[in-house]
Copies of this chain bind each other. A is one copy, B any other.
């Protein structure tokens, strides 16, 4: 089922598909075409068919994709059929904002622990989770089988936090600090720095009008 050659770009689109499919499921829509997915998600339908074909032969000509079946398959592919515990390191504005998203994290994926160095924050509750001192990170992460760490500490603390997460056996890090982390090759890091998002958007400010007319 799971190919070794799936690009990061494809993997990043799967949760976007899943989100819209979940919406369709709530509205009890039984099937969806790649055209409709493409229109809704601003993606080329051929791209969508190609993305989903990586994982198996899901679609049926003239009918489209079975929504429930596709949800189940994408959840399996993304390992979302397993319990995935997440730890958040840094309880500042950003950390607090991110913990609010726990409500959107479906199913088995949840922020289960929050850490900070500040005496004012330690012991307070954020969305029902008690902020723990960073000294408890390694032990708590191990005990709760946390598999993903989110880093929202200042730049200068980010590498040290990453080292502790790695020591505790984490498999992936979502890094909001605008710095490049050094981790072993079996730990996956995604940079969530929004300044790079903003800068890449700037590219389209001039290019946008010429490009979008001719495409798709």
Residues of chain A touching chain B, judged by Cβ–Cβ distance below 8 Å, are 2, 4, 8-9, 11-12, 14-16, 18-20, 40-42, 77-80, 84, 86, 92-94, 96-98, 100-101, 104-105, 109, 147-148, 150, 152, 171-174, 178, 180, 185-192, 194-212, 214
Which of B40, B104, B188, B207 touches A201 (beta carbons < 8 Å)?
B188
> Nearest 4 A-B pairs (CB), nearest first?
A94-B97, A15-B199, A93-B97, A15-B196
B192 and A208 contacting across the interface, CB-CB below 8 Å: no
How many copies of the shown chain assemble into the complex? 2
CA distance A171 to B4 in the complex (A): 38
Chain B residue at minimal CB-CB distance from A152? B97
* B-side contacts of A96, CB under 8 Å: 93
* B-side contacts of A77, CB under 8 Å: 203
7 pairs, CB–CB < 8 Å, chain A vs chain B:
A4-B207, A12-B200, A15-B195, A80-B202, A172-B201, A187-B208, A190-B200
The answer to whether A198 and B93 touch (CB under 8 A), given A191-B16, A209-B186, is no
* B-side contacts of A208, CB under 8 Å: 171-172, 186-188
